[in-house]
Structure 1
Amino acid sequence: MPWRKPWIDPSSVPDAAVLRERLERRAYEVWISEIMLQQTRVATVIDYWNKWMAKWPTIHDLAAAEPDEVLAAWRGLGYYSRATRIHEASKIVCADEDMQGLLPGEVEKLQAHIPGVGRYTAGAISAICFGRPAPMVDGNVLRVLSRQLGLLGDVKTDKAVIDLLWGAATALVEAVAQDAEQLSTGDDGHALSDRPGRWGQGLMELGATICTPNPNCSGCPISSSCCAYGEGLKLATDTDGPSKSKTSTPRAIIPDIEDACTLCQAFEEFAVLDDAGQKPSETAKAPLQKQTSLQSFFFASTKDKKTTSSPPDDAACMSVITNHAKKFPLKVVKKAVREEQTLVCAIRRGDGHYLIHKRPGKGLLAGLWEFPSSILSDPSDAQPKSRKQIATRYVHSVLGLAAGDKRLKHVGELGSVPWLFSHLKLTMHVQLFSVKDIDSASAPTVTGTSSGSRWSNDVEGESMGTGMRKCWSLVNEAMDMAE
C-alpha cells in the first residue's frame, strides 16, 4: 500500500520548516487514502490513490483544482460526496490562518474543523502521522474486539456496544503507546511515537486478513486472549456437550453471561443468521445453544472435568471454534433494498450536442452531470409503450415544447441499465430523442432541479457516475450504428 510509510519523528527533523512541510504532505496522503478506503477495496484504491497524488501532490494543489476535475478523478470509486467533501475541506485547511495547509494533529480538532472527517479518520491521521495514542476503529477492528471481549452485540447501530468497543480500543492504544522505549514530545507536552499508528494499522490488518467474517482461528496470533476462541474451545473439548451441566457441585449459582450482561444478545435469538445477515432455511438450522457461562469457565470442580478426546489443534475441534467465533459480532437482518425505475432521456440536438444537467450538491451522486431523468412512480407505467409516452411528455416539458411539436422525435428505447447502490436497486430505461431548430445559445432548466443545465458536445469527458456512463455507452453505440 503506497500510503504506508515510516513515521516522521519530530525529534529527527530539527528544521521546523522542513518538518512542517513533511508533516503536511504525510497527513494529506493518509487523509486521502482513508477517505478512499471507505466502502472500497484496497486493491481498487491503490491505483486511484497513485493517480490522485500524481495529479495533486499537495493539499494546496487539490484546493486549487476545479470541482469537475475532482469528480472526474473520483469516477468509479462511488459515493461521490466523499470527493466533494475532500475538495471543500482542502480549501478550508489551506485558507485557515492557523492550519495553512497542515491538518491538525488532535482528533477533536480534526473532527471539528475538517468536513467529512469522523472519529475513525481523525484517529488514523492523528496516530499514523502525528504519533498520538488515538484509536483507529473500522469495521474490521470492531469485529476483532467483539470476539476478543466475547461481546455479542450490534456493532453497526447499537450505540452502547459501539461506545464500549471504542473505549476498549482507546485503552489498548494508550497502553501500547506507553511501551515505546523512546518518546518524542509534542508542543503540547503529549508523548509521541510510531507505536499508535503501527498498532492501529496492525489491528485493522488482522481483521482484514485473519479475523475476517469467516476467521482463520488456527492462524490467529492473539487467540490466547480471545474470549470467542476460549468459548469455542470449551464447547469443542467438553465431551458432555455444550447443552449439559458442566458440574454437579457448583460453588455458587452464577447467572449466564448473556443474562448478566446488558449488552450481549442471546444466541438463541440472534446468532443463527448467516454471513449475509439472513436467516437460514429450516433444514439448515443447527441446534441452538447458549453462550458459555462464566460458571462453566471458572466455577467447575476440577475433579469433575473429563479428559478431552481431541487435542486443541484437531481439525474437528478447530471447526467448532471457528464456527463459534463466526457468530461474533451480532449479525442483524438486513433491510430489503428499495427498487426504483427511471427514464433516462438523452436529448440530441441537430449539431450533435446533448442536454445534461447537474445533480444537487447534496445527496445521491451529488454534483455529477447526467441526462435528464424521470422516476416511474407507478409500476403500471413500466411497460415499454407507457415508458415511451411518459418519456415523450417529460422531454416536451423539459424543452418547453408544446405537446405534439414535430421538432422533437423519439428515436427509440435503447435498453435498460441495472445499477445497485447500497440502499437502492435502480433500473434505468434509456430513451433517445432528437430535436431540431431550437435555440442553441441557451439550455432549458431541467424540470424538478435547481442545478445548472447545458448542452455538451463532449459527454465522454463529463463528470458522470458509472451508471449514467453506461447509459451513455448505449447512446454512443446507437449513434455509431446509425452513421
Structure 2
Amino acid sequence: MMSRLRSAMRQSKRGGVEVIESAKTTRKRTKTAVKEEETTASPSSYHTFTDPAAVVLLRSELLTWYDREQRELPWRTLAVTEPDLNIRTYAVWVSEIMLQQTQVATVIDYYNKWMKRWPTVQDLSAATLEEVNQMWAGLGYYSRGRRLHEGAQKVVTELKGQMPLTVDSLLKELPGVGRYTAAAVGSIALGQVTGAVDGNVIRGLCRLRAIGADSTSPAVTEALWDLANTLVDPDRPGDFNQAMMELGARVCTPKGAVCSQCPVQSHCHSYRKVQQNSKKLLGKLGGKTSSLPDIEECVISGTCRLCPSEPWDNALGVHNFPRKPAKKAPRVERTLTCVVIRRGDEGEDEYLLKQRPDKGLLAGLWEFPSLLLEEESSEMKQKRALCAVISRMLGTSVTETLLQHIGDIVKLYDSVESQKEQTSKNGKKQNATGVKNNKKPLPSKKAKLGAESSGGRQLSLSCFFKAVKEES
C-alpha cells in the first residue's frame, strides 16, 4: 500500500518542483576541504563507484529491500499521503529536527502529539515558546524546539507562510537547518535529487567502500557526500535516502552488524575483506586471486586520503569502519545554585526561578538562580556571591545568614534515588546518607518529582509547580 502511495505522490512532487542540480556542484565547500583537496591526491577508485551498472543494481536491491522491510512511521506516512506541499514540507522538517540525536521509538509519540496540536507552520508560529518547550519536555536539546518555533515564525512573517521549496533555500532560510537536514527534507518532501548523509549513512558508506580515515575530517565528509550523490536514485531520492538510513539503523548497526541480512552485501568491500580472511584461515583460496583490488594495495600506494591509518583488525570485521577520532575530555563546570523558597498565599511553597538567555545552552529555559564557580572558594565567599545575585534579582538586600548550605544537589539527588532503590528491594524505608531531616528538604522533593511524576522526563515549569502543589 505504501509503495503505491509513494508512486502516486512522486508524480505530484516532480510536477510542482524542479529537480535541482547535483548537490556537489551547488554546495559551498569549506575552505578547509578545498585546501585539502588542492594539496592531496584524488581518492582511489577503490573507495568509489566507477561502474554505472553496479550503481543501478545497488539502487534496485536497496529499494526492493526498503519497500519490503521499512518501518511504518508517522512522518513517512504523512510524506506520501499529504497532498499539500507546504504541510508536507513542514511535517518532514519537524520530524528531521526531532530525530536529531534521538531514537525513533522516542520520537514517534512526540511527533504525533506535535502534529495534532500544530498541524501547519502557521499553527506553530502562533504558539508561545513556553508552550513549545512544554511539548518538547523529555526530548532534550531544547534549542531544536526553539529553532523550529523561530523558523515557523520566519516562514509566516517573512516568507508569506510558504515553506522553502529547494534544498538551498531550506539551508538558507530556516534556523537550525544544516546540510543534512536540508537534503533530507528536500528529497523526502520535495522529490529533489540529492543525497543525504547522516550518522547511519556515514557508517554504511564507510563500510561499503572501506573508508577508514577519520570520518569527521573534511576530506572524508566531502567524499561521503559525493558518494551519496552518486548513488541516490533520481526517480525515488527520498525513498533511497530513507532506505540508507534504515539500513544503518537496523542492519549495518554500530555494533553487531547483521551482514547476512544486508541487501547490498555484494557491494561491500568490508564484508568482502571479512570473507577473504575467513577463507585464508580455512585454506580455501586454492591459489586463486581476485581481480578486484584489495585495501592493502590502496594503502601501500600512500596517496589515498581515505585509507585507514591503522591496520585492519580481524576481530572487528566490518566494525573496523567507520573510524572516529578520540573523544575530547568533557568540559567540567561547577555552579553555585540557590533555592529560594517562600510561603505562598495559600500556604504552599513558592520557588524563585530565572529565565536563561535566549541563546546558548538550554536557551530560554527556567532555572534556580545560579552562577558559575570559576575557582574553589570558602563557604562564606560562596554565600556572599549568591547573596549578591539574589539581591540584584529581588531589588533588596539579602544577607548570608539567610542561606543554609545543603551540599551538592546532584549528589543529594543520587542518594535519594539510591534510597528508593534500596526501599524497593528491602520493602522498608532506609535513611539517605547526607540528607538533613528538614521538614521539606528540596532535594528530596525534586528527586521525587523527577522520578515519580515525570517518569524520568524533564518537567516543564507549569508541570513542576502543579506537581509541587499536589504533593504539598
TM superposition score category, shorter chain reference: 0.5 to 0.7
Q: TM-score, normalised by structure 1?
A: 0.64
Contact 2:14–2:191 (8 Å) recurs in 1: no
Instruction: For 1:238 and 1:12, locate their aligned partners in 2 and report how far apart those are by CA, in whole Å.
Output: 51
Quote the residue 1:341 is aligned against.
Answer: 334
2:320 counterpart (327, 331, 334):
327
Instruction: For 2:274 and 2:154, locate their aligned partners in 1 and report how far apart those are by CA, in whole Å.
Output: 51
Decide whether aligned partners of structure 1 residues 203 and 58 sit closer, same or farther in structure 2, where only a CA change above 3 A counts: same
Decide whether aligned partners of structure 1 residues 73 and 209 sit closer, same or farther in structure 2, where only a CA change above 3 A counts: same
Q: Show CA shifts across 1:214-239 (max 9, x none).
A: 21112211110111111111111124
SS in 2 for 1:334: coil
Quote the residue 1:60 is aligned against.
Answer: 122
Contact 2:138–2:459 (8 Å) recurs in 1: no
**Aligned residue identity for 1:119:** R
Instruction: For 1:417 and 1:73, locate their aligned partners in 2 and report how far apart those are by CA, in whole Å.
Output: 29
Q: Show CA shifts across 1:393-448 (max 9, x none).
A: 23321232557466x353845842599xxxxxxxxx999x9xxxxxxxxxxxxxxx
Instruction: For 2:150 and 2:358, locate their aligned partners in 1 and report how far apart those are by CA, in whole Å.
Output: 12
1:374 counterpart (321, 346, 371):
371
1:129 counterpart (189, 192, 197):
189
1:108 counterpart (143, 164, 168):
168
Contact 1:345–1:372 (8 Å) recurs in 2: yes
Residue 397 (structure 2) pairs with residue 398 (structure 1): no
Deviates more, 1:202-211 or 1:104-113: 104-113
**Aligned residue identity for 1:151:** I
Shift of 1:160: 0.7
Identity of aligned residues (%): 39
Quote the residue 1:158 is aligned against.
Answer: 217
Contact 1:210–1:216 (8 Å) recurs in 2: yes
Instruction: For 1:229 and 1:43, locate their aligned partners in 2 and report how far apart those are by CA, in whole Å.
Output: 29
Decide whether aligned partners of structure 1 residues 101 and 10 sit closer, same or farther in structure 2, where only a CA change above 3 A counts: farther
Q: Larger RCO: Structure 1 or Structure 2 (Cα < 8 Å, ≥ 6 residues apart)? A: 2
Instruction: For 2:260 and 2:282, locate their aligned partners in 1 and report how far apart those are by CA, in whole Å.
Output: 24
Decide whether aligned partners of structure 1 residues 240 and 80 sit closer, same or farther in structure 2, where only a CA change above 3 A counts: same
Q: Show CA shifts across 1:173-203 (max 9, x none).
A: 1xx21xx4xxxxxxxxxxxxxx111111111
The structure that is strand-richer by fraction is 1
Instruction: For 1:224 and 1:230, locate their aligned partners in 2 and report how far apart those are by CA, in whole Å.
Output: 8
Quote the residue 2:310 is aligned against.
Answer: 267
1:146 counterpart (206, 209, 217):
206
Contact 2:87–2:121 (8 Å) recurs in 1: yes
Instruction: For 1:118 and 1:12, locate their aligned partners in 2 and report how far apart those are by CA, in whole Å.
Output: 22
**Aligned residue identity for 1:377:** E
Instruction: For 1:353 and 1:75, locate their aligned partners in 2 and report how far apart those are by CA, in whole Å.
Output: 22
SS in 2 for 1:329: coil
Structure 2 residue runs without a partner (length 5+): 18-80, 414-433, 439-448, 451-455
The structure that is helix-richer by fraction is 2
SS in 1 for 2:101: coil
**Aligned residue identity for 2:242:** Q
1:410 counterpart (404, 412, 430):
404
Decide whether aligned partners of structure 1 residues 201 and 346 sit closer, same or farther in structure 2, where only a CA change above 3 A counts: same
Quote the residue 1:79 is aligned against.
Answer: 141
Decide whether aligned partners of structure 1 residues 402 and 94 sit closer, same or farther in structure 2, where only a CA change above 3 A counts: closer
1:220 counterpart (252, 255, 262):
262
SS in 1 for 2:410: strand
SS in 1 for 2:404: strand
Instruction: For 1:255 and 1:20, locate their aligned partners in 2 and report how far apart those are by CA, in whole Å.
Output: 50
Instruction: For 1:60 and 1:397, locate their aligned partners in 2 and report how far apart those are by CA, in whole Å.
Output: 43
1:235 counterpart (258, 274, 277):
277
Deviates more, 1:255-264 or 1:226-235: 255-264
Q: Show CA shifts across 1:16-58 (max 9, x none).
A: 9xx9971111111110010000010111111111111111111
1:199 counterpart (240, 261, 282):
240
Instruction: For 1:363 and 1:133, locate their aligned partners in 2 and report how far apart those are by CA, in whole Å.
Output: 34
Contact 2:336–2:386 (8 Å) recurs in 1: no
Contact 1:152–1:328 (8 Å) recurs in 2: yes
**Aligned residue identity for 1:152:** G
Instruction: Kindly tell me the number of residue pairs found equivalent between the two proteins.
Output: 355
Instruction: For 1:213 and 1:361, locate their aligned partners in 2 and report how far apart those are by CA, in whole Å.
Output: 36
Instruction: For 1:80 and 1:391, locate their aligned partners in 2 and report how far apart those are by CA, in whole Å.
Output: 30
Give the alignment's Cα RMSD to 1 decimal: 4.3
Contact 2:212–2:321 (8 Å) recurs in 1: yes
**Aligned residue identity for 1:50:** N
Quote the residue 1:95 is aligned against.
Answer: 157
Instruction: For 2:435 and 2:374, locate their aligned partners in 1 and report how far apart those are by CA, in whole Å.
Output: 17
Instruction: For 2:403 and 2:208, locate their aligned partners in 1 and report how far apart those are by CA, in whole Å.
Output: 65
**Aligned residue identity for 2:114:** W
Shift of 1:263: 2.3
1:446-465 counterparts in 2 under 5 A? none
Decide whether aligned partners of structure 1 residues 10 and 340 sit closer, same or farther in structure 2, where only a CA change above 3 A counts: same
Bigger-Rg structure (1/2): 1
